Amino acid sequence: MTIHVLSADHRYTPLDDIARLSSADDLGPTLTRSLPNARGVMVLRTCNRVTIYVDAPASADPHALKDAVERELAQASHAQREDVHLRHLWGRDGLVDLFSTAAGLESMVIGEREIAGQMRRAARTAWEDGTLSCDLGRAAERASATSRRVATETGLAGAGRSVVAVGLDMAAAHLGPWVDTRVLIVGTGAYAGATVSALHALGASDVSVYSTSGRAREFAEGRGIGWVDAADLPSALKRADLVVTCRGLGSPVLTRDMAAQAGHTVVLDLALMRDTESSVASLPNVTLIDLPTIQASVPAADADALTRARAIIDEEVSSFERGLGARSMDPVVRHLRSRVFRIVEEEIDRLGEDPLSTDDAARALRHLAARLIHNPTVMARRAGEESQQERYLEALGVVLGIDETALISGDDATPHAFSPGDHSRSRGGVCPHNVHTLGA
């Protein structure tokens, strides 16, 4: 198994380009069908990234896989093929990026916690779509657990470490006290819930929500805020000191004409695909804060905390890789267990139903032991005939955990009573007492 990470994110790609790529629908199922070697696909979309995780066999050509993913993404997002360029990591580098992303280390605001929930939702969506492989699911689950460890041990996820928090902090410079601020949230998208929580923490109590999807009342009742219907939207805009848009459906919900009729308003647009017409920024009564504005104003993360977080990621990825390596041998373990238990069942059948004496039980166990060591013994002699002793001893030491020196010296070879023929075998390289000549 190799995890491939193909990403367009804020570090390497303009936000407008990410928004266009983010419009691709059903990308997971489409890629699963079109990539012949893909075992699993998971798609992560946030306000500043589109990342595609592909679980492919180790033998898959990474360059061919990248080309296929970019081609499908271009088609699904109605972009030109030559305009789609994804950053591509795989193997350990891919896992490090996956874990780092879940921990918020690759976010616009380093250490932000929203990304962990977005990663879990991406995994759940992939599972519902039938595109989440076991290994990809395990990687996402372990990455989520790692994000909690990073948050606990480094303090990177402290107050102010989120896109929402930074945006509200920037808006506060243009507003009065939060307790007196009238807030209208437009949309019930991914950031809406986080916005309400952050506003409550700041002391804002006059908060309402509007949604074109009709979910405003349901959303509001679960969070103790008000709601606005379509007929009351114009008056709500005039009344609001702060309008937070987090709808992100690709078409502006707040037009220039609507904003022009509002009072003096701060508009915080948290949507990747803008909810606010860009020309709103030129209105004298509006202060527009959008994702590019936030991106340029993000506070730097603590260097020591970041170093500690990277060390945790490295440690967790190494542990996960060891676990993957162990699980890769599961088919071998199942085969060995099946083979041994089949022999045991055959030996049990040989015993019949009559009660056994101690001698009978001992003979049965010796017969079982002889059968179990038969193939290894045959292969040992064949290895000797073919001058492959060292390879055999090394393999046997790995499988049985026996010290190679003990195998060669015969120090472990205590006498046994498997069969009369075995007693005449040499042990430890010493010639048996009844062998007098090489020809005997």
**Which pair of tokens denotes residue 399?**
């499988």
Q: Which of 47, 134, 246, 431 is catalytic?
A: 47
In this structure, what is the dihedral angle of CA atoms 194, 197, 199, 205, given to the nearest 10 degrees?
Answer: 140
pLDDT at 173: 93
Task: Please check whether the domain covering 163-295 is classified as CATH 3.40.50.720.
Answer: yes
Closest CA to 269 of 66, 226, 259: 259
Provide the annotated binding site for NADP(+): 187-192
3-state DSSP of the chain: CEEEEEEEECCCCCHHHHHHHHCCCCHHHHHHHHCCCCCEEEEEEECCEEEEEEEECCCCCHHHHHHHHHHHHHHHCCCCHHHCCCEEEECHHHHHHHHHHHCCCCCCCCCCCHHHHHHHHHHHHHHHHCCCCHHHHHHHHHHHHHHHHHHHHHCCCCCCCCHHHHHHHHHHCCCCCHHHCEEEEECCCCCHHHHHHHHHHHCCCEEEEECCCCCHHHHHHCCCCEEECHHHHHHHHHHCCEEEECCCCCCCCECHHHHHCCCCEEEEECCCCCCECHHHHHCCCEEEECHHHHHCCCCCCCHHHHHHHHHHHHHHHHHHHHHHHHHCCHHHHHHHHHHHHHHHHHHHHHHCCCCCCHHHHHHHHHHHHHHHHHHHHHHHHHHHHCCCHHHHHHHHHHHHCCCHHHHHHCCCCCCCCCCHHHHCCCECCECCCCCCCCCC
Greatest Cα-to-Cα distance within the chain, rounded to the nearest angstrom: 114
Provide the annotated binding site: 46-49, 107, 112-114, 118, 187-192
Reply yes or no on whether the pLDDT at 427 is more than 70: no
CA gap 88, 85 in Å, rounded:
9
pLDDT single digits (tens) 318-365: 999 998 888 877 777 788 788 888 888 887 888 877 888 888 888 888
Closest CA to 101 of 114, 86, 88, 85: 114
pLDDT at 424: 42
Provide the annotated binding site for substrate: 46-49, 107, 112-114, 118
With beta carbons less than 8 A apart as the criterion, state whether 190 and 246 touch: yes
pLDDT at 54: 95
pLDDT at 107: 83
User: Which of the listed ranges 158-167, 265-274, 420-429 does the model predict with the highest average pLDDT?
Assistant: 265-274
Q: Where in the chain is the domain with CATH 3.40.50.720?
A: 163-295
**Which pair of tokens denotes residue 129?**
């779509």
More confident residue, 418 or 224: 224
Q: Where in the chain is the domain with CATH 3.30.460.30?
A: 2-159+301-327
Structural domain 2-159+301-327, CATH architecture: 2-Layer Sandwich (3.30)
Average pLDDT over residues 3-12: 88
For residue 127, count CB atoms less than 10 angstroms from its CB and return exposed for 0-12, middle for 13-18, buried for 19 or more: middle
CA gap 68, 79 in Å, rounded:
14
With beta carbons less than 8 A apart as the criterion, state whether 291 and 191 touch: no
Average pLDDT over residues 133-161: 86
Whether pTM > 0.95 for this model: the answer is: no
Average pLDDT over residues 110-118: 83
pLDDT at 413: 53
Reply yes or no on whether the pLDDT at 43 is more than 90: yes
User: pLDDT exceeding 70 applies to what percent of the chain?
Assistant: 90
User: pLDDT exceeding 90 applies to what percent of the chain?
Assistant: 30
**Which pair of tokens denotes residue 339?**
């083979």
pLDDT at 433: 46
CA gap 88, 173 in Å, rounded:
39
134 is catalytic: no
With beta carbons less than 8 A apart as the criterion, state whether 211 and 225 touch: no
Average pLDDT over residues 210-236: 86
pLDDT single digits (tens) 249-306: 666 778 888 888 888 899 999 887 788 888 888 989 999 998 888 888 877 777 888 8
